[in-house]
A = this chain, B = another copy of it.
């Protein structure tokens, strides 16, 4: 559990890097034999590339690092419950265990809308630990969207 907190804290650091770039603050790290082999944050606006979510970027780094598309014996930490694309990428890369922070009621496909990682019709299932530093992870997002609304309000005022 202490380890989970430690690695989630690294994922939160990644999320903070995203926020600093004006990106929705979501971060991910992948650990293999107690070594961090990938760390990434959401870069959708910076790259103008729809698939550059934190998890997708981290999974690709890890595949490169291990020179293998099968990420066996790895553990992925991500601040927010994965969307369908990222949940699917976790299945495709055979990650055996993920740990996430906050639930995503609008698009989460691990527990909220679907349970894609635990459907035995697929050729892989994944262990899931949720609710690790969930408050901090969720707070980052709440604060980000609050600031965004505030900025828009200020902008409208200036235009009047």
Contact = CB atoms under 8 A, between A and B. Distances in A.
Contacts of A119: 113
A60 B51 contact: yes
Given A50-B69, A50-B71, A87 B88 contact: yes
Interface in A65-109: 67-71, 83-89, 91-94, 106-107, 109
A117 to B, nearest CB: 10
A134 to B, nearest CB: 21
A44 B86 CA distance: 17
A145 interface: no
Contact of A88 (B44, B45, B86): B86
Chief secondary structure at chain A's binding surface: loop
A59 interface: yes
Nearest to A69: B50
Contacts of A48: 63-64, 67-69
Contacts of A49: 60, 63-64, 69
A94 B49 CA distance: 12
Nearest to A124: B107
A49 B84 CA distance: 19
Given A44-B69, A114-B114, A89 B122 contact: no
A39 B91 CA distance: 24
A158 interface: no
